[in-house]
Chains A and B, each alone.
Chain A
Amino acid sequence: MTTATSTARTTGANSPLAAVLRTETRLFLREPGSLFWILAFPTVLLTILGLIPSFREDDAALGGRSVIDLYVPVAVLLGMIMAGLQAMPPVLTGYRERGILRRMSATPVRPSALLTAQIALHGAASVGSALLAMAVGRMAFGVRLPGQPVGYLLALLLAVACVLALGATICALSRTTKASAAVGSVAYLVMMFTAGVWVPVQTMPGLLRRIVEATPFGAASQALDQAASGNWPDWAHLLVMAVWTAALGAAATRLFRWE
């Protein structure tokens, strides 16, 4: 009877996992800083750039596209980087450091439920941020919606998975919240560069671009750009992201300390 009851309760609206997700969603919405940097900041940056007239003009050097066309995928990646590398690592390490995970391991629910909920919420916020940037790009600056929506969505989801795996690896490697914030910031700057926040990947010189394309966000930037222009993204770019995600995910799972 006990088994039947507990099985029945692992699914449905009142299951422990649903309760954890509901509670963590509420807590996530109580972090105005994270919400701003993940959801609003990339679109704000896009808007500021879009207000510069020359950035809206088509440029022959960019293959007949405008700077703002190239910046929509950058804004999309920026939201993910904010979520996975800036916002998430301190939350997860804080849960460990404060003994919140430990308290939960003394209940019938495994503490991994808390981590999974937080990772899922940061992933969902990244996707929300991406949709917002694309909508504003379309409505305010006439940036075309992705010509190859399926390819775009695939590249987007792979990039989200990759950044979450990287954020989780940072948590696994850092003993303290401070350390994870510091490591997260370094990774964040590197990822911002490879995602093309300062110089769009598409305009980088040959060798540098090759190197950047081997990083998760360099590959993501290229794949999103290709799908935005209506082509199926290169399998090589998708493969780079998939390999990074698998490797980082395995590292995070193996190295994570529960205490």
Chain B
Amino acid sequence: MPIIEVDGVRKAYAGRVAVDGVGFSVEEGEIFGILGPNGAGKTTTVECVEGLRIPDAGTVRVAGLDPATDRDRVTLLLGAQLQESELQPKLTVGEALRLYSAFYPHPADWRSLAERLGLDSHLDRRFAKLSGGQKQRLFIALALIGNPRVVVLDELTTGLDPRARRDTWQLIEEIRDSGVTVLLVTHFMEEAQRLCDRVAVIDKGRLVALDTPAGLIDRTAGSTVISFTPSEPLPAAELAGLPGAASVSVAESDGRVLVHGTDDTANAVISLLARHRVTARHLRVLETSLDDAFLDLTEQDART
């Protein structure tokens, strides 16, 4: 049974529709990503899961419970890190951990949690004096302190430097490995690609795709990009006729060839070069990132 089920959820604020019929289900033990541009309705969707907002229509279930009506029980099994929330400025890390562990009947040991998140040397530091990365680690700790079955992490790495972001990714993988399901909201493709088992892409309040990161990339036309500079020009007709090629272009300045295609196209390019006894300088075969897949999906949506 899925641990989170969202079906046909709709939410409008003062007439403006933020979420329009979004539905997905999250299996226990996975890292499920909600990906989308800013203002797409990602946060509103997870706030309905957390019980912080009540959807206008549709149903939400967390372990079979409705967060809107069974909030007390849902808060016991769902831990949340919210976007743009703070703690009392003069509250220390240790006090915050002790306070929040008093909220739950069976809390995790806050000392070992602090150690695991690298907060043990900052227990006496006040919230206002923490760095961005330290604040986020504290919020992860507070999300985990009630021994939840699910954690919702909303834009956790926004505003962190690349190093802190990578450390945070490591932590999220460790959370999953400890058996907790993770619902991860992000607008970073790289983050979704690295962490998520499955991704729901939301744009303008609608679900536009739901797949594994690799599945999303495969859907994109011309997901493999081959580029090279041939020692001699190649026949244009043969280039255009490469199997699986979505587009071919040749730069006028230096004759550099750029082909969007598939794995088959890459192999065909190599045999084409061999047949014509042409050498290729700066040969590069790249896979498109989830970035391209994402742009492709949201642009399709913009066209319709």
Enumerate chain A interface residues (CB-CB to B < 8 A): 2, 5-6, 9, 14-16, 18-20, 23, 26-27, 30-31, 95, 98-100, 102-103, 105-109
Give, as a whole number of angstroms, the nearest-CB distance from B72 to chain A.
6
- The answer to whether B105 touches A103, judged by C-beta atoms less than 8 angstroms apart, is no
B201-222, CB under 8 A of A: which get 1 and which 0?
A: 0000000000000000000000
CA distance A98 to B98 in the complex (A): 21
Give, as a whole number of angstroms, the nearest-CB distance from A107 to chain B.
5
- The answer to whether A106 touches B99, judged by C-beta atoms less than 8 angstroms apart, is no
- Select the stretch in B81-89, B183-191, B256-264 that faces chain A: B81-89
What count of chain B residues pass the 8 Å CB interface test?
A: 28
**CB-defined contacts of A5 to chain B, threshold 8 Å:** 105
Within residues 52 to 77 of chain B, which ones have a CB less than 8 A from any CB in chain A? 52, 72-73, 75-76
Question: Which residue on B lies nearest to A19, using beta carbons?
Answer: B102
- The answer to whether A103 touches B87, judged by C-beta atoms less than 8 angstroms apart, is yes
- The answer to whether A108 touches B104, judged by C-beta atoms less than 8 angstroms apart, is yes
Complex A-B: 29 CB contacts under 8 Å: A2-B105, A5-B105, A6-B72, A9-B105, A14-B102, A16-B103, A19-B98, A20-B99, A23-B98, A27-B90, A30-B90, A31-B90, A98-B86, A98-B89, A99-B84, A99-B85, A99-B86, A100-B87, A100-B88, A102-B52, A103-B85, A103-B142, A105-B52, A106-B75, A106-B82, A107-B75, A107-B104, A108-B76, A108-B103
Enumerate chain B interface residues (CB-CB to A < 8 A): 50-52, 72-73, 75-76, 79-80, 82, 84-91, 95, 98-100, 102-105, 142, 146
CA distance A194 to B100 in the complex (A): 43
**CB-defined contacts of B86 to chain A, threshold 8 Å:** 98-100, 103
CA distance A16 to B91 in the complex (A): 16
Question: Which residue on B lies nearest to A106, using beta carbons?
Answer: B80
Give, as a whole number of angstroms, the nearest-CB distance from A231 to chain B.
45
- The answer to whether A27 touches B88, judged by C-beta atoms less than 8 angstroms apart, is yes
Asked, given contacts A23-B91, A26-B95, A27-B91, whether A16 binds B102 with beta carbons under 8 Å apart, the answer is: yes
The 7 closest A-B pairs by CB, nearest first: A99-B85, A19-B102, A106-B80, A98-B86, A103-B85, A108-B75, A5-B105
Question: Which residue on B lies nearest to A1, using beta carbons?
Answer: B105
CA distance A15 to B105 in the complex (A): 9
Give, as a whole number of angstroms, the nearest-CB distance from B281 to chain A.
55
